[in-house]
Amino acid sequence: MRQKVILDCDPGHDDAIALLLAARHPALELLAVTTVAGNQSVEKTSLNALKVCSLANILEVPVAKGMNQPLIRPARHAADIHGDSGMDGPEMPPPTCSLVPQHAVDLLIEMLLQSDGDVVLIPTGPLTNIATAMRREPAILPKIQAISLMGGAISVGNVTASAEFNIWADPEAAALVFACGRPITMVPLEVTHQALATGEIMQRLKAMTGPVPAFVADLLTYFADSYRQVFGFPSPPIHDPCAVAALIDPDVIAYKEMHVAIECRGQWTEGRTICDIYGKTELPPNVRVGYALNFERFWTLLLDTLQLY
């Protein structure tokens, strides 16, 4: 039996790769792609999702456009990392598929209510769509089997000294989701910064044939330049596919159960994931937090899946 999943994303270079992994790996059944404002505006992230689906012939999966700004804050994007389009680098033709007319939040609610409680949500952007769906229709909560998300950090952030971008972009939404009571796996920067597209990985990727591996190589070439200029990384980290891989292979990431809260008001810590590593709050664990990645296992899983296109 394949695991049923919905990918909620903001493509985004690494979101695009996460979409390719979720759509083709034989362990998963991708029910829908929902888009949200994050790396760029929701109009741009939605267009990027359609372009990826068109290129990779992912035409049977509905793509729905979601929230265009956070719950209570103005929109904040990541053009310094992902460019003006949100997915700068590859030259891509216009998409051959279209958005479904349904709003992403409505689609999430409908699919979850109709499910047998066997759907895992994979958010790889700000949690605005997920939080809005939970607020609008609390009956979906018991229908969510689990949530595997990319976001947060145990220690330092990547958009402020304290916060990771996805959580910082809509901390109120993150606070609602982290308190929802469903099983949550958090794949933080500590894990994704180990998922580097090194020179050896790029050689393996470029040795593959077909338009999809070539597209991913182009994505990572641009991403490498961004991360070198902004963060000084020697190779780019592939954040979002880690949250998908975590669901496919339980041994690809090592975890620790802990209580995680979201800081929404701190002067220096707004958007921080407060990870109670040592149980100092005496609050029960609510999140399974990743801390280490099996590098070779992760990249073999990802590259083997790309080879299927």
Q: Which of 10, 14, 15, 170 is catalytic?
A: 10
Q: What are phi and psi of 195, to 5 degrees?
A: -90, 65
User: pLDDT at position 193, please?
Assistant: 97
User: pLDDT at position 206, please?
Assistant: 94
| Chain CA centroid to CA 308, Å | 21
Please state, in angstroms and as integers, the Cα–Cα distance from residue 82 to each residue in 7, 11, 12, 161, 279, following that order: 19, 9, 6, 20, 37
User: pLDDT at position 258, please?
Assistant: 98
Q: What is the mean pLDDT of residues 56-74?
A: 97
Token pair, residue 154, equals 């145990």
Q: What is the mean pLDDT of residues 119-147?
A: 98
User: pLDDT at position 170, please?
Assistant: 98
Fold of 3-306: Inosine-uridine Nucleoside N-ribohydrolase; Chain A (3.90.245)
Q: What is the mean pLDDT of residues 78-98?
A: 92
Q: For residue 161, name the pLDDT band (cuts at 50, 70, 90).
A: very high
Q: What is the mean pLDDT of residues 64-85?
A: 95
Q: What is the mean pLDDT of residues 163-187?
A: 98
SS3 186: strand
Please state, in angstroms and as integers, the Cα–Cα distance from residue 138 to each residue in 112, 135, 143, 145, 177, following that order: 11, 6, 10, 14, 12
Mean pLDDT of the chain: 96
Q: What is the mean pLDDT of residues 14-20?
A: 97
Q: What is the mean pLDDT of residues 291-296?
A: 98
Q: What is the mean pLDDT of residues 222-248?
A: 94
Q: Is 276 a catalytic residue?
A: no
User: pLDDT at position 110, please?
Assistant: 98
